[in-house]
């Protein structure tokens, strides 16, 4: 059996998990602490990928990231490469798709933070940066861990969005879920079964870890 789709899925999941805090953390803090007009609007925009059908989101991304879209056009001008049908392309799509799944747990753990802790830190003269590293981060470790692991599992199983912007290129964008779908369509049920069998224990382990983190936080 060809393991490339599974390895590619793992690569996508790991990259998404590593990069998503950069996008999600500022968004989560803004939503947890921000007092501004249009906050609920921002909240809705961030959460949208969670409720939209993945194929609809995928099609929207295909249009935006295609060479005639704003993002895709800019990308092609700067790098000379096409954004859709590339690993970078599906990674970007995966980040957008996963954003709400990282923002929500992060935001919840930030909101649970005792404001008195932050006030004391300010009174004691701690800079915002050291407040973040010495107080916010250690207190939100659980939320961050939950977010990362959820995003990891979620990108491992991602199908609709990748199907739209990926183009199923073996070794570049043909992830496990797409390969399984294709195997079933081609009546290669054995291949589909083997690939699924390899995915299930990983997803199961991820759920066990999430439960463990949640139990410790409670």
* Interface residues toward other proteins, by CB under 8 A: 59, 62-63, 65-68, 72, 82, 84-85, 163, 167-169, 174, 181-182, 184-187
Between 62 and 99, whose beta carbon lies closer to other proteins?
62
Q: How far is the CB of 85 from other proteins (least distance, A)?
A: 5
The per-residue DSSP string of the chain comes to ---HHHHHHHHHHHHHHHHHHHHHHHHHHHHHH---TTHHHHHHHHHHHHHS-HHHHHHHHHHHHSTTSHHHHHHHHHHSS-STTSHHHHHHHHHHHHHHHHHHHHHHHHHTS-HHHHHHHHHTT--HHHHIIIIIHHHTHHHHHHHHHHHHHHHHS--HHHHHHH---TTTT--HHHHHHHHHHTT-HHHHHHHHHHHHHHHHHHHHHHHHHHHHH-
Q: How far is the CB of 185 from other proteins (least distance, A)?
A: 4
| Residue 104 · residue 149 · CB < 8 Å | no
Between 82 and 194, whose beta carbon lies closer to other proteins?
82
Q: How far is the CB of 43 from other proteins (least distance, A)?
A: 23
Between 26 and 67, whose beta carbon lies closer to other proteins?
67
Q: How far is the CB of 10 from other proteins (least distance, A)?
A: 21
Q: How far is the CB of 49 from other proteins (least distance, A)?
A: 19
Q: How far is the CB of 186 from other proteins (least distance, A)?
A: 5
Between 186 and 208, whose beta carbon lies closer to other proteins?
186
Quote the tokens at residue 194: 């083997």
Between 21 and 194, whose beta carbon lies closer to other proteins?
194
Between 44 and 169, whose beta carbon lies closer to other proteins?
169
Q: How many of the other CB atoms lie within 10 Å of CB of 39? A: 12
């Amino acid at each position: 059996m060809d393991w490339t789709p599974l390895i590619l899925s793992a690569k996508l999941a790991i990259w998404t998990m590593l990069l998503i805090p950069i996008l999600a953390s500022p968004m989560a803090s803004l939503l947890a602490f921000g007092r501004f007009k249009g906050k609920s609007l921002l909240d809705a925009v961030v959460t949208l990928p969670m409720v939209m059908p993945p194929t609809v989101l995928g099609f929207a991304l295909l249009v935006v990231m295609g060479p005639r879209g704003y993002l895709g056009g800019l990308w092609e001008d700067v790098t000379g490469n096409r954004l859709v049908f590339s690993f970078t392309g599906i990674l970007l799509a995966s980040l957008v798709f996963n954003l709400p799944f990282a923002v929500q747990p992060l935001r919840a753990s930030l909101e649970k933070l005792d404001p008195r802790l932050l006030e004391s830190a300010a009174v004691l003269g701690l800079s915002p940066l050291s407040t973040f590293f010495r107080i916010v981060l250690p207190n939100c470790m659980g939320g961050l861990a939950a977010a990362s692991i959820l995003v990891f599992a979620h990108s491992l199983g991602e199908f609709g969005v990748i199907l739209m912007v990926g183009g199923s290129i073996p070794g570049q964008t043909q992830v496990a879920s797409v390969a399984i779908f294709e195997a079933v369509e081609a009546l290669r049920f054995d291949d589909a079964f083997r690939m699924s069998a390899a995915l299930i224990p990983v997803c199961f382990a991820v759920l066990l870890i999430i439960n463990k983190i949640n139990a410790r936080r409670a």
